[in-house]
Amino acid sequence: MRQQFLRRMALGVSLALAGMAAHANDADGVKIGVLTDMAGVTADATGRGSVEAARLAIEELGGSVLGKPVSLVSGDHQHRPDIGSSMVRKWYDTDGVDVVVDVPNSSVALAVQGIAREKKKLVLFSSPGTTALTQAQCSPYGVQWTYTTYALSRGTATAVVKEGNKRWFILASDYAFGKQLAADTETVVKANGGEVVGTVFHPLNASDFASFLLQAQASKAQIIAVANAGGDTIAAIKQAAEFGITNAGQKLAAMLLLLTDVHSLGLQAAQHTYLTVPSYWDMNDGTRAFSKKFEARLGRPPTFLQAGVYSSVRHYLRAVQAAGTTDSDAVMAKMKSMPIDDPFSLHAHIRADGLVVRDMMLAQVKSPDQSKAPWDYYNVVRTIPGDSLAWPLSESQCPLVKK
């Protein structure tokens, strides 16, 4: 009996402390953690720009919520799940962080998702693309905000195969993101009557793509799908040009190509490349206005990953205000019930599995003579309805989805 009494007392104290901690968080305001890549292969596309995008969202909403200040911390996960996990655990446990955003690198994101689920804290993923985040490893506390490998492969590969390019070779990065993007691309190619004649995986942050590109060249594929990100994408495309692969008749399809990648490559090298984008700085008056503020701080417009950070932080803060609390369950419920309302999000909403479904655009990189101003890089070919870029909920592996 005494042991039962002590256990109940301990449980009561724990619940009281948890309640006091939640109340303290509300009293102290909201703290947002930007977990990003400051010096690695995706630093240009995320990094300092992601931090400034979050800061601009905070400033846009007045710098406070529920009458209390909104603060910001940031950290570099160095593309290592152990470093990212340790940082996020400390943020949640001792630093009072209410929500983590960005998280480039799918392997890091999956590790962080597990911690957020354990701690019942929110995490809003702008930069990782693996579908596992909202499929088998979905969480009631996670949202995949900007894109998925499924969406990018359906948008780009479908268009390229329908132009008559049936034989594909896939060059992909050897971690969760690249493997998922390669698998999704192969599925789409085959579904549209094409074939994948070979796939090769390279290590993250590779400097020499010679052996991989020679395998692709020897395959006689019409299309070499480049399924990686950031510096790896730039290096692979540049080296393909140096080896004369594209001059010999093979074409490249970049499965994830960002504004900063095109800038690094130059329009001469990147022109005519098809890509799928969730947003673009020159979409409308609202995106142009935000991008002007962003460019004043960073010297260039935002990538769609950075725009996703801005969008996710903005929606989160609006949901906190509407919920009247920072309690994770209450805020998530509000986030899912409220429409996503910002210039970068077209017909966007959060599904039961945590996936943001949004319209995207099939774009093509302009030739040098078509570009009329700095960063004027894309021709938008057409809008792709969001529902066609997301797997049906009836096929979901997420345990949160009721069937």
* Stretch 253-267: mean pLDDT: 94
Task: Give the integer Cα–Cα distance in Å for 291 and 295.
Answer: 6
Q: What is the mean pLDDT of the chain?
A: 92
> Which pTM value belongs to this model?
0.88
Q: Determine whether 339 is exposed, middle or buried from the number of CB atoms within 10 Å of its CB (0-12, 13-18, 19+).
A: exposed
Residue in 166, 238, 169, 178 with CA at minimum distance from that of residue 203:
178
Give SS3 for 196: strand
195-202 β-sheet, strand order? 195-202, 167-173, 223-227, 251-254
**Statement: residue 232 has pLDDT above 90:** yes
Task: Give the integer Cα–Cα distance in Å for 201 and 145.
Answer: 26
pLDDT of residue 16: 41
**Statement: residue 38 has pLDDT above 50:** yes
| Structure tokens given for 15 | 């619940």
Q: Which of 15-19, 187-191, 253-257 is least confident?
A: 15-19
Q: Which of 18-22, 42-46, 68-72, 346-350 is least confident?
A: 18-22
Phi/psi-derived region of residue 266, left when phi > 0, alpha when psi is between -120 and 50, beta in every other case: left
pLDDT of residue 27: 55
Between the CA atoms of 361, 367, 371 and 374, what dihedral angle is there, to the nearest 10 degrees?
90
* Stretch 265-288: mean pLDDT: 93
In the chain, % of residues over pLDDT 90: 83
| Structure tokens given for 142 | 């996670």
Architecture of domain 30-147+283-358: 3-Layer(aba) Sandwich (3.40)
More confident residue, 273 or 48: 48
Backbone angles phi, psi at 140, to 5 degrees: -65, -10
Does the domain at residues 150-274 carry the CATH identifier 3.40.50.2300?
yes
pLDDT of residue 24: 43
**Statement: residue 156 has pLDDT above 80:** yes
pLDDT of residue 11: 41
**Statement: residue 369 has pLDDT above 90:** yes
| DSSP assigned state of 256 | S
Residues of the chain with CATH 3.40.50.2300: 30-147+283-358, 150-274
More confident residue, 194 or 16: 194
Tell me: the pLDDT tens digits for 107-154?
999 999 999 999 999 999 999 999 999 999 999 999 999 999 999 999
